[in-house]
Chains A and B, each alone.
Chain A
Amino acid sequence: MNTNLKFDQIHVGQTANLIEKFSTEDLDAFINLSGDNSSIHSSKDDAIKKGFNNRVIHGAMIVSKISKLIGTVLPGDSALLLSLEFDFQKPLYPEQLFEITSKVSEKHYSVNCISIKFKVSLKDDSTKIAKGSALVNINYD
């Protein structure tokens, strides 16, 4: 069940984590959904020729899990995502377990918004995959 945090139930420093993994089937499904079938995503041979170890997970797929974290955990159902910034640092491959850690970095009392910082890293060796931040409006009845 999704959380549904109100603005006054959130504090600076509050954290939430997700552990996720994408399969090759997920990658194929996203290629079909997005239309981004560039060779590093769709061809293992081409990806290896370009210096990667396998087909590369789209950055937007990682961002989709950020969306999941915001919309279901922190703050949950009350979330309205207003902006998102992301830097991708290392490739993520199918079947790699990764962890998203998030922390509330600022509360904007004037407009019922929170800033959240994210880090995405491999679960097994903590390799940094991506980092970013979001501005989220807490919108509830």
Chain B
Amino acid sequence: MLTEVLDIVMDDAENQAGWGIASGDAQEWRMLLDELIPKLYTMFMGRWPNPALAEELVQKTVFDAVRGRHGYDPSKGAPQDWIFGIAFNNIRMEIRKRASRPAIDVNAAMYLQALDTRLLPDEVLERKETAQQVRATLEALPARERDVLKARYLEALSIEEIAGRMGATKKAVYSLLYRAGISFRQRLVGDGPRGEA
């Protein structure tokens, strides 16, 4: 009897949440996104080990859901299932996109050389060797440059937050970030200064 009552209460709560999502209730959306963003990220990373692509796909899925919320019918299932449906659709689109572009040369060095003239193919980023090379390059950078790159791109901090943390002006952070990028590129492709970390 008690379990039946609990089931009814739980179903009712889920239904309420579902209607809140469909009608654009900010509180319901915040709770849903806090729960789903890490799960979506893990799912995309499991498919392609590429954090930048995983973030891009999570972002696309979230915005597809927010913009298409009027098409969600709570009587057909939980909002989580509906959003995962959108995510699977985005995976299918990514697979189709990859199938339609030419195969990538196995020599990643060629692409790394052209770091400032074109966008690196996702396939190069997904190679285990690239990740190892990036870690080694970061470790070889002077501490200040390494810290600013990690704060900006790994922790996704804003320029203001980095400036506060480093006790520097925003302009100085922009400048340091730019110099760190150049330095990172030089070391990564093997034509930069070494051994001054």
A binds B: no
Footprint of B on A, CB under 8 Å?
none
Footprint of A on B, CB under 8 Å?
none
